[in-house]
Amino acid sequence: MKNPLRKQILITGGAGFIGSHLCERLLADGHDVICLDNFFTGAKDNIVHLLDNPHFELLRHDITFPLYIEVDQIFNLACPASPIHYQFDPVQTTKTSVHGAINMLGLAKRVKARIFQASTSEVYGDPQVHPQPESYCGHVNPIGPRSCYDEGKRCAETLFFDYHRQHQLEIKVARIFNTYGPRMHPNDGRVVSNFVVQALLGKPITIYGDGSQTRSFCYVDDLVEGFVRLMNSPADLTGPVNLGNPGEFTIRELAEKVVAMTGSKSELIFQPLPMDDPKQRRPDIGLAQQALGWKPQIALDEGLQKTIAYFADLLERGIIRSF
C-alpha cells in the first residue's frame, strides 16, 4: 500500500547544480524522486551517489518534447542558467523555457499535479527599482543577447499564470537570485565559480566593468529550503516569490574576498562590461519572510568556504583542468 505522505515528485533539470541538491533534499524528506535531465548542462556526477537509492529514478529526456508519467508534484528547473550556456544555442534556450513550460504544464493539468516554476531575477532585467520587489515589472531588453533567457523565463511565468487562471492549476513561481555552492559547473561563466577557479589556479581574476556592480549571493541549501516551503505552502500562495540573499556585495568585494580566502596570488584584471549586464541586483524578500517564514541562514563567508573546498577537491583530482 502506498504511503500517503510519500509523494511522487518530478524534478526537471534534476542533474544540474540546484536540481541535484533538491533531489537530495526531497529524498531525505521521504519522497520518490524522478530526476529528468537532457545533460546539456547537467552532469551525471551530480547525482551518481543517488542511483542506488530505490526511491530515486533517472530519466534522460528533453522537456521541449511531451512527457507522459504519473506524478504528484513537478519542480520545473530545466534550462541553461549561465550566459555562456544559454547563449550557446539561444533558440533552444527559448524553446526550453516556453515549449518546456507548455509541456510540463500540460502534464500537471493531465495528472492534477502541483507545479513549481524556477524563474529568475533576470525577469527584472537591469532594474531601475532597488531592491527588487515582486511587484516590479522589470526593465528588460527583448532583443539583446540575454533576451533568450530573460524573455523566455518571463513568458514561462505568463504561461504558468494563464494555466492557473484558465485551468485552475495549482502553481508556485519562485524568482531565484544569484545562487552558489558545490556542484556549480567549473566553466559556467558565473561570477562565484569563475573567481574561485581562477584564484585556485593562480590565474588573473577577470572582472567585467569596474567591479562596482552589485550582486546578492544565496547559498544553495538556503535556496532549496525556500523551494520546499513554497511548494508546500497553501494553494492560494502562487507567487511569484523572490528567493535570494539580500546581502549585497560589489563584484570587486567578492573578488577580493575569494583571493583572501584561497590565499591566492591572483591579480585583478578588468574587461568591458557585457551588453545588458545588470548594474545592481538585490531581492526584496519581505514576501518570503512573511508568507513562508524563510530567510537565508548561511552567510557569504561560510558558503564560500564550502564552495572553495568543493572546487579545490576538483582541482586536486585533476577535473578542473579538463574544462
pLDDT tens figures, 198-231: 999 999 999 999 999 999 999 999 999 999 999 9
Confirm whether 22 is domain-assigned.
yes
Confirm whether 242 is domain-assigned.
yes
Active-site entry in 149, 163, 180, 219: 149
Which one, of 40, 39, 43, 47, lies nearest residue 23 by Cα?
47
163 is catalytic: no
Confirm whether 121 is domain-assigned.
yes
Query: Rg of the chain's alpha carbons, rounded to an integer?
Result: 19
Confirm whether 33 is domain-assigned.
yes
State the Cα–Cα distance between residues 43 and 244, nearest whole angstrom.
24
Q: What residue numbers bound the domain in which 83 lies?
A: 8-322
Confirm whether 12 is domain-assigned.
yes
Contacts of 46 (CB under 8 A, 6+ apart): 15, 16, 17, 19, 20, 183
DSSP lists the bridge partners of residue 283 as: 132
Show the DSSP H helices in the chain as ranges: 17-28, 83-86, 90-111, 147-167, 191-201, 220-231, 251-262, 286-292, 300-316
- For residue 7, CA distances in Å to 10, 28, 29, 278 come to 10, 12, 10, 39
Which one, of 120, 139, 117, lies nearest residue 128 by Cα?
139
CATH code at 91? 3.40.50.720
- Per the structure, how many domains does the chain have? 1
**Tell me, what amino acid is at 46?**
N
Q: Are 241 and 287 spatial neighbours (Cβ–Cβ below 8 Å)?
A: yes
Confirm whether 1 is domain-assigned.
no
Q: What is the full per-residue pLDDT of the chain (323 aa) written as tens digits?
A: 567 789 999 999 999 999 999 999 999 999 999 999 999 999 999 999 999 999 999 999 999 999 999 999 999 999 988 778 888 889 999 999 999 999 999 999 999 999 999 999 999 998 899 999 999 999 999 999 999 999 999 999 999 999 999 999 999 999 999 999 999 988 888 899 999 999 999 999 999 999 999 999 999 999 999 999 999 999 999 999 999 999 999 999 999 999 999 999 999 999 988 876 778 889 999 999 999 999 999 999 999 999 999 999 999 988 876 44
- For residue 44, CA distances in Å to 41, 48, 58, 94, 306 come to 10, 6, 9, 24, 21
Confirm whether 213 is domain-assigned.
yes
HSE-up of 168 (CA within 13 Å, CB side)? 1
